[in-house]
Amino acid sequence: MTNRRSPEERKADGKARREAVPRSSHGDWSPATDRPDPVDVITSQNANRVQPLVPIRHGRMAVSPFTFYRGAAKIMASDLASTQSSGLNAQLCGDAHLANFGTYASPDRRQVFDVNDFDETLPGPWEWDLKRLVTSFVLAGRDNGHDRSDITAATTQSVASYRQAMAKFAARRTLDVWYDQVTLDEITAATPKKKDRKLLTKTAEKARSKDSLKALSKLAELVDGKYRIKSQPPLLMPLRDLSTSMDADNLREQVLGSLQSYRSTLADNRRLLFDRFELVDIAFKVVGVGSVGTRCMIVLFEGRDEDDPLFLQMKEAEASVLEDHLPKSEYEEHGERVVRGQRLMQASSDIFLGWEAVPDKHHYYWRQFHDMKGSADVASMSARRLRNYAVVCGGTLAHAHARSADTIAIAGYLGSSDRFDSAITEFAFTYADQNDRDYAAFKAAIDDGTIEADDD
């Protein structure tokens, strides 16, 4: 049964939690005396990965403190476990940095904006996601050369946007919260500067062009009248060209076995649609920063003819980095954990999203590879654009949490003042400094040969 307390009781509960955990206390953080070595934490994740690709992961993380942060969710999960929590939980993204938000196509073909990475999803304290998001704005702002006052404005706006959105959802009817969805058109219309609106329109047009047909033109070649995926090592490697160290035969068996299991997790209508496509080719593809080295394949299917392609991505799912510090997932397969979390946090999800339903050494989930997917060019953001983006991401994260959390209690805890905003901003700067120290240790380990890093 759902919580039957009155809205007034739920709000009072949230406000009462400030006595045990004052909002200002969220600004306090210092590294534990027994804090694990950050380099050891990163390298501990490499054991089950494809070893020839591990140096690429290290190379991508070594580019800047921000790219290091993108791959260091496991480090931060350990640090967040010791931070203050109101005791109110939500379904977490688990890796809610600003590059894990973006646009994609809803089933009714609108361009929507939402959280778009769920590899670490798990129920937990909503503050953890927010702290990871806000810290990412500090690091991105530093990377872009913005001064502290501009970065402070962006981080504070991100938290304020989250707080204000949660208050808005607390006042709405349950179904209205569930159906709420941010579209790219709405973001563009609400953007004050004309030149920023023009940039968003251009970004939207580019994202609309990203579909399976566009992917076919870029990633495939016609050989003897049939399409096959191009070979572009080490980032794109068809199974036919993999070296023995990559164990191509085993990977092919995993894909074919996973495909049948995945099919069973689709709804009947989507299974019928999927069955109209025939498998054509499989390739190993390197993706992301922290995910490099996990087993990720793109699979080319053909519908009516060679001009009717469908690209799906089959991505390995490992245990969430949060599971060392929170109750383990109720789902035996990590692919199911990812998919269930995504469906809970997103207002609309990919029609081909599914998982491998048979436990094995490796767990996978499936989704469309390109479907109007777009992301912000963070590296080119001015201070103004970074601040605008912070507002959008803060409100979007609030909605993702609102779908599973007690919005009224959280809104009651947050209140209407900027006390919580200031505390999280203080935390973000403190933790960004720690991330810089971890990054320096990581770079030193590369420089002295302790770990290997390659440019891709």
Q: Which residues lie across from 89 on neighbouring strands?
A: 125
- Beta strands, E only, 232-353: 236-238, 278-285, 296-302, 309-317
pLDDT at position 1 = 47
Task: Please compute the mean of the pLDDT values over residues 326-354 and round it to a whole number.
Answer: 96
Average confidence score pLDDT of the chain: 94
Q: Which H or E run includes 229? A: strand 226-229
Q: Which residues lie across from 238 on neighbouring strands?
A: 283
Residues 379-431 pLDDT 10s = 999 999 999 999 999 999 999 999 999 999 999 999 999 999 999 999 999 99
- Of 134, 149, 97, 309, the C-alpha closest to 216 is 309
Tokens of 98: 């600003």
Reduced to 3 DSSP states, what percent helix, strand and coil does the chain have, rounded to the nearest 5?
A: 50, 15, 35
pLDDT exceeding 90 applies to what percent of the chain? Answer: 88
Alpha-helical runs (H) found in 49-125: 54-61, 65-70, 73-80
Task: Please compute the mean of the pLDDT values over residues 233-241 and round it to a whole number.
Answer: 92
pLDDT at position 2 = 53
Q: Is the pLDDT of residue 360 over 80?
A: no
pLDDT at position 403 = 98
- Of 263, 279, 272, the C-alpha closest to 357 is 263
Confidence of residue 251 (pLDDT cuts 50, 70, 90): confident
Task: Please compute the mean of the pLDDT values over residues 285-289 and round it to a whole number.
Answer: 92
Confidence of residue 358 (pLDDT cuts 50, 70, 90): confident
Other Cβ atoms closer than 10 A to 379 = 10
What are the contacts of 439-447 at 24+ separation with CB within 8 A?
Answer: 439/64, 439/65, 439/68, 439/69, 441/37, 441/38, 441/39, 442/38, 442/39, 442/42, 442/58, 442/61, 442/62, 442/68, 443/62, 445/39, 446/58, 446/62
The residue ranges of every structural domain in the chain are 7-206+381-447, 212-368
Question: Do 337 and 363 contact (CB within 8 A), yes or no?
Answer: no
Length of the chain: 456
Rounded-to-integer distance, Cα 271 and Cα 266, Å: 6
Q: Is the pLDDT of residue 346 over 90?
A: yes
Rounded-to-integer distance, Cα 67 and Cα 65, Å: 6
Q: Specify the DSSP class assigned to residue 23.
A: G
Q: Is the dihedral of CA 105, 108, 112, 118 positive or negative?
A: negative
pLDDT at position 254 = 81
- Beta strands, E only, 286-415: 296-302, 309-317, 354-355, 363-368
Non-local CB neighbours of 214 within 8 Å, separated by 6+ positions: 370
Confidence of residue 243 (pLDDT cuts 50, 70, 90): low
Task: Please compute the mean of the pLDDT values over residues 285-308 and round it to a whole number.
Answer: 94
Non-local CB neighbours of 28 within 8 Å, separated by 6+ positions: 84, 427
